[in-house]
Amino acid sequence: MKVTLAAACGFCYGVRRAVELAGQAEKGTHTLGPIIHNPQVVGRLAAHGVSPVDSLDDVDKGAVILIRSHGVGPDVYEQADQKELKVIDATCPHVKKAQQDAKNIVEKGEKLIIVGEKSHPEVISISQWGANRAIIIDREEEAEKIPFCDSMGVVVQTTFSQEQFKRIAAILQRKTNHLDVHMTICTATQQRQQAAIELAGHVDAMIVIGGKNSANTGRLAQVCREQDCPTYHIETAAELDTAWFRGMNHIGITAGASTPDWIIQEVV
């Protein structure tokens, strides 16, 4: 059987940077939430003494806290300052830009629209920088329900589907006299989605590797299925089932931006 790895897959710059910062952190450092949406990486770091906490209330005064790649709202920085915490900021630069864009949109008096998953930590952090005034949507049907307004600004979750965002933005264009679009889907996400789409069109099935709680990995599986390609989303090689591939000759593999190289190689 022929196995082809997508031209772009695995760790992106922001995730690699966050994991490296966590790996260099002193024992006893805490990450605010899991460093990335990959249970295997989180487990490895915890074994080395860098473990996640749910809230700054869970850490002692003066402790070291690492802000993960998804980013946090301004209130978290203020609370960390009050507790005299040493902050290692591993927020992805692309997320930082989306946060700043949301802040600027609100300060200009425009209606803020965030396209992304409402419960995702990155989207929550972007909304908090937009003073929690955003309308958050992730489907065309929701865009259709937004009332008309004179001026509107839109930012998008960095790992969102490009094609779906284009469809939503086209609807928003009809909902305002002025649409200020900030294309904040990061380059790495675009490259990974495009490479997955191209590969899915030439193979009998796709394997998508990454955390089940990883938004960008879920998007990769989504775009592969949209090519009418049988697609299996797994976290590790232990989940592979040879029955999936009976009668097939060519299998494609891709991986989310929070999936480390060693897990990809095990699956290959």
Residue pLDDT, tens place only, 7-19: 999 998 999 999 9
pLDDT in tens, 195-251: 999 999 999 999 999 999 888 899 999 999 999 999 999 999 999 999 999 999 999
Rounded Cα gap, residues 127 and 136, in angstroms: 8
Q: What percent of the chain shows pLDDT beyond 70? A: 100
Catalytic residue list: 122
Show me where the domains of the chain are located. 2-8+190-267, 14-92, 94-181
CA gyration radius for the chain? Answer: 20
Do 94-181 and 14-92 fall under one CATH topology? no
Mean pLDDT of 26-54: 93
pTM, entire model: 0.86
Cβ distance 22 to 50 under 8 Å?
A: yes
Residues 6+ apart with CB under 8 A from 6: 192, 195, 196, 199, 252, 253, 254, 255
For the 94-181 domain, the top CATH level (class) is: alpha beta
Q: Note the CATH number of domain 2-8+190-267.
A: 3.40.1010.20
Cβ distance 40 to 32 under 8 Å?
A: no
CATH architecture assignment, domain 14-92:
3-Layer(aba) Sandwich (3.40)
